[in-house]
Amino acid sequence: MRATVLSRYGGPERLAVAELPRPVPGSGQILVRVAASAVNPVDIEVRSGRAAARVSHGFPMVLGWDLAGTVAQCGADARRFATGDRVVAMSAQTATGIGTHAEYVALDERLAACAPRTGDLRRAAALPLAGLTADQALELLDPAPGDTLLVTGAVGAVGGFAVQLAAARGLAVQALVRPGDEEAARALGARRVFTARAAIPAASADCLFDTAGEPSALAAVRDGGRAVSVVPTRPLVAARGIDVRMWFVEQDGGRLTRLSRLVDDGVLTLRVAEVFSLATVGEAHRLLAAGGTRGKLLIDPRLGN
Ligand SMILES: NC(=O)c1ccc[n+]([C@@H]2O[C@H](COP(=O)([O-])OP(=O)(O)OC[C@H]3O[C@@H](n4cnc5c(N)ncnc54)[C@H](OP(=O)(O)O)[C@@H]3O)[C@@H](O)[C@H]2O)c1
């Protein structure tokens, strides 16, 4: 099978298509024929070597955490899915060594969920990592209905899902976005939208979800409030009795099942910017690193060069 392989840390040019053996699903695993995967900021961190300390396996490496596809084969004792089922999954590639930028991926069936029934299966690859991160971070924040939540980077992949999930839970969402993204943030469910951190009234939010790496946003949280960041390079610094946490996404097929249903229910929207081939994953890395993309960058292994 074809896969995009990293043989050495470095720039996007290090990513190259290679022929690898098709994985064989082990006990409790499913083999998925990939319809699409997605590029996430973590892929750039891994490729460049900045995340080397967190990578548990050697070269050559297949990157990618998200996948949407069709079950091609079930391993022994894998009973949750049948051949032909449409699934989504997140593989914590740095920990498991199982990357998704490939034609086929074998992984534990407990990491997978039925894909949303509605729409192009490829678009579902926008959901797993960003959706799980947003949902798990919100659970950690544990806001009460009616609380005010500030989301930074609110039209980003993680921030966008967080705004939608929070609005659906009856929270009053404040959004910090780049100038020009105000309407997009409102469309996701934000009630108040700011394009400059300094414009957000001090202590106006009960809690903060920082996806933009904007630690100064803590000033917008009331004394004794709660805050979660997912950007370890720009952590929040606890102050004024605010409960401050850092969150790292965890694999969770059960939670992904619920998120997939929320897509079908129209609570979550899948935003896709562009689709790349396995041979052009490096271009997707360049685009994501440059900033300004709105919607996920997907990889379709069936596309030619
Ligand atoms: N800890 C974890 O488990 C975990 C999981 C997922 C993601 N993450 C991290 O979370 C962050 C967001 O990930 P993502 O996939 O959502 O990225 P993304 O889609 O690029 O979203 C980030 C958004 O924040 C915006 N932004 C950045 N700085 C801003 C600022 N000062 N004010 C307003 N908006 C700002 C970006 O705008 P521009 O594009 O214009 O810069 C973009 O819209 C990344 O740092 C990623 O590494 C961590």
pTM beyond cutoff 0.85: yes
Predicted confidence band of residue 305 (pLDDT cuts 50, 70, 90): low
Q: Tell me how far the alpha carbon of residue 25 lies from the centroid of ligand 1, in angstroms.
A: 34
Look up the CATH number of domain 130-246.
Answer: 3.40.50.720
Distances (CA, A) of 63 to 66, 105, 149, 299: 10, 12, 33, 11
Q: What is the pLDDT of residues 51-69, one digit of tens each?
A: 999 998 899 999 999 999 9
Task: Indicate whether 277 pLDDT > 80.
Answer: yes
Task: Indicate whether 304 pLDDT > 90.
Answer: no
- For a mutational test of ligand 1's pocket, the pick from 158, 195, 270, i.e. the residue with the most ligand atoms closer than 8 A to its C-beta, is 158
Q: What is the pLDDT of residues 95-142, one digit of tens each?
A: 999 999 999 999 999 999 999 998 899 999 999 999 999 999 999 999
Nearest CA to ligand 1 atom 33: 177
Q: What is the pLDDT of residues 36-49, one digit of tens each?
A: 999 999 999 999 99
What's residue 55's pLDDT?
92
d(CA 228, CA 148): 14
d(CA 195, CA 175): 8
Is domain 2-127+270-299 classified as CATH 3.90.180.10? Answer: yes
What's residue 118's pLDDT?
87
Question: Ligand 1: which atom is nearest the Cα of residue 248?
Answer: 3
Judging by beta carbons within 10 Å of its beta carbon (0-12, 13-18, 19+), is residue 192 exposed, middle or buried? middle
Report percent pLDDT > 70 for the chain: 100
Q: What is the pLDDT of residues 75-85, one digit of tens each?
A: 999 999 999 99
Q: What is the pLDDT of residues 195-245, one digit of tens each?
A: 999 999 999 999 999 999 999 999 999 999 999 999 999 999 999 999 999
Pocket of ligand 1 (CB under 6 A): 40-42, 129-130, 133, 152-153, 155-159, 176-178, 211-214, 230-231, 247-249, 291-292
Q: Tell me how far the alpha carbon of residue 291 lies from the centroid of ligand 1, in angstroms.
A: 9
Residue extent(s) of CATH 3.90.180.10 domains in the chain: 2-127+270-299
Average pLDDT value for residue range 176-185 = 98
Q: Tell me how far the alpha carbon of residue 153 lies from the centroid of ligand 1, in angstroms.
A: 6
Question: Ligand 1: which atom is nearest the Cα of residue 181?
Answer: 43
Report percent pLDDT > 90 for the chain: 98
Say whether 272 sits in a helix, a strand or coil: strand
What's the whole-number average pLDDT of the chain?
97
What's residue 211's pLDDT?
98
Q: Phi then psi for 155, rounded to 5 degrees?
A: -110, 10
Residue extent(s) of CATH 3.40.50.720 domains in the chain: 130-246
